[in-house]
Amino acid sequence: MKILSLLFIFLGIGLSKENINLDDVDIIYKAYKNQNITYFLKYPIFFKSKTFAEIFLKDFPLENLNKTQIEKVLNIYKNPNLACNLFYLYKDKKLSLDIRNKIEKILFKYCPYEPYVKNIRDNFSSPEDIYKRAKLLFKYKQFKDAFFYAQKLPLDNDKYKYLVSRIYFTNGKRKYATSLMESINSSAYEYKKYYFLSFWKRKPEEKKYYFEKLLSTQKENLVKIVLNGLLNYAFYQDNSTFFFYLLNISKNIDKNLYGKYGFRYYYLKGDYIKAKDFISFIKNKETKNFYALLVDRFLYKDFKLENYLNNFSNFSKYKVLLNPPKKIKAQAPKLSDIKNKYLKKYLKQDPTFAEILLETFKFDSLDKALAYYFLNNYYLSIVYADKYKNKISKYPFLYYLLYPQGYKKEIRYFLNLYKSKLPENYIYALIRQESRFNEKAISWAGAQGLMQIMPFTAKFISKKLKINYDFYNLTQPNYNLRLGIWYADFLYRKLKDLALVSGGYNAGPGNIRRFIGDITPCYSSLEFLEIVDFFVKYPETRNYILKVLKNFYIYNAIYNKEGNYEITCTISP
């Protein structure tokens, strides 16, 4: 039997003395179907598979496990990726009190955000236990629950103050959070304090004060993040004094920022020659080429857009929006495209077991991309297919993998239910940008699920639909799509334009009206790109609008849909 020591090291799983490999797949499958507990406890490698780890506790007959075997199970599941599955074992009332207490501690440590954990008695009430729980809830974007515990923490040390201030800020308590952060004196939190207060303070002089404090700490990465945020703030506040103070600093700290914001400033002033001088400092090739295109149309009489298109990559948002593809010669993937014989066999015979193999053993990325596509795990299919996107001409089925029509049945159902005029491919384009079809996705801000719905938005939608709001169900695909498609349709009825719907979905309809509502109409794709790039104040929203529309164009070209989006930039009164 071939020893896979290096593979096991790569997988990061502790091993028993026995080893196993993929050539034993039929033996493994027999043990799996027979629910052979002893066999799998010999090979902890299988518990790397989340699918198997859940099935093992949920479906295998564990009632006859002895104490030693139960302890082994607890050791296997005592990690952030698997711990939550222990609730299936915890429900067994025959377990000893000692084992139940051990499981409780693991669940409280790793899974405090799960609804069922809240129903377990909480014996951990010391400040340090409360701190750990609040910190983990905050890490997992469970801001409301983190706030509940933050209120219980004593503010007698800077460690607690730092966490509480961040939790309060995230829950909309800006004034108190800022005051609490200012009261921190420990040198261990000094640079973190300056970092957050540079953003949280409202007045330019206060922002400048804390930014200079941060500069003195020599935390280069944090300085660059704050510098980017403050340059964007000063640019749109039209505060030239603060803007040029930051721009001059950026030349020595981050030449890319110096180039981007210097160009943006002088371009809007109409000084195209001076604006062009800043382009050489910009790192991103696509942005550099786009800005060169913008100024050259004013500087050269013989300017022709088509001469610039080849400067962009095929998947560039600029190239796709400036010259939308009419039809892409894509090829639907087939099971025969998979090279590994075991994957092909078990995708046909037992898809769940095929998923366990994928999560346990090492396969070629292209095979994994195809296998996950057939398992309807579009997120992981995109992740692995992305590694091959430069070979898309060789593997034309990659278009389907990179731009899947996932959850088609549910999406069509809700579009019909709401009598929506939104194009079906637009919903796929939106989901691809929001979550890449990851139904469990949670953003840094707390947006959740396929369509990345914020809890407060979900409350608003639930009220409009006259249904119960369920925070803990936001990552459930059907519930998430029900809310998200209604909201996208709601925006479309108000804004009448897919670009504005995209901006409104990301930044709110009020913001997108303020940003570009008074700069309409525009008459070409180039003018549209210019408007989005210079007048949408949030960098994330600028990028989001263009990427959603790029996705939409590509979806239409792959799936042979007529009628690509026509840029109008108009907004309803």
- Give the pLDDT confidence score for residue 122 in this predicted structure: 58
pLDDT tens digits in sequence order for the chain, 573 residues long: 343 333 333 333 333 334 678 889 999 999 999 999 999 999 989 999 999 999 999 999 988 888 899 999 999 999 889 999 998 888 877 888 899 889 988 988 888 777 777 666 555 578 998 898 899 889 988 898 899 999 999 999 999 999 999 999 999 999 999 999 999 999 999 999 999 999 999 999 999 999 999 999 999 999 999 999 999 999 999 899 999 999 999 999 999 999 999 999 999 999 999 999 999 999 999 999 999 999 999 999 999 999 999 999 988 999 999 999 989 999 999 999 999 999 999 999 999 999 999 999 999 999 999 999 999 999 999 999 999 999 999 999 999 999 999 999 999 999 999 999 999 999 999 999 999 999 999 998 889 999 999 999 999 999 999 999 998 899 999 999 999 999 999 999 998 889 999 999 999 999 988 887 655 566 688 988 998 999 999 999 999 999 999 999 999 999 987 656 666 554 433
Contact predicate 31/43, CB 8 Å:
no
Residue (of 106, 547, 532) closest to 316 by Cα position = 547
Question: Cα separation of 17 and 322, whole Å?
Answer: 60
Question: Cα separation of 430 and 440, whole Å?
Answer: 16
- Give the pLDDT confidence score for residue 179 in this predicted structure: 98
pLDDT tens string 32-60: 999 999 999 999 899 999 999 999 999 99
Return the residue matching tokens 């930044």: 507
Contacts of 123 (CB under 8 A, 6+ apart): 104
Helical H segments across 124-239, by residue range: 127-139, 143-150, 158-170, 174-182, 190-200, 204-217, 220-237
Q: In one letter, which amino acid is 419?
A: K
- Give the pLDDT confidence score for residue 566 in this predicted structure: 63
- Give the pLDDT confidence score for residue 12 in this predicted structure: 38
- Give the pLDDT confidence score for residue 256 in this predicted structure: 98
Return the residue matching tokens 């600028």: 542
Question: Cα separation of 73 and 453, whole Å?
Answer: 36
Contact predicate 189/158, CB 8 Å:
yes
- Give the pLDDT confidence score for residue 447 in this predicted structure: 94
SS3 453: strand
Extract the runs of DSSP E, i.e. beta strands, from 467-560: none
Contact predicate 542/312, CB 8 Å:
no
- Give the pLDDT confidence score for residue 533 in this predicted structure: 93
The domain limits of the chain are: 5-118, 335-395, 408-558
The third-level CATH classification (topology) of the domain covering 408-558 is: Lysozyme (1.10.530)
Q: How would DSSP label each residue in 111-142?
A: -TTSHHHHTS-----SHHHHHHHHHHHHHTT-
What pTM did the predictor assign?
Answer: 0.90
Contacts of 474 (CB under 8 A, 6+ apart): 448, 449, 453, 455, 458, 480, 483
Question: Cα separation of 119 and 279, whole Å?
Answer: 58
SS3 442: strand
pLDDT tens string 354-370: 999 999 999 999 999 99
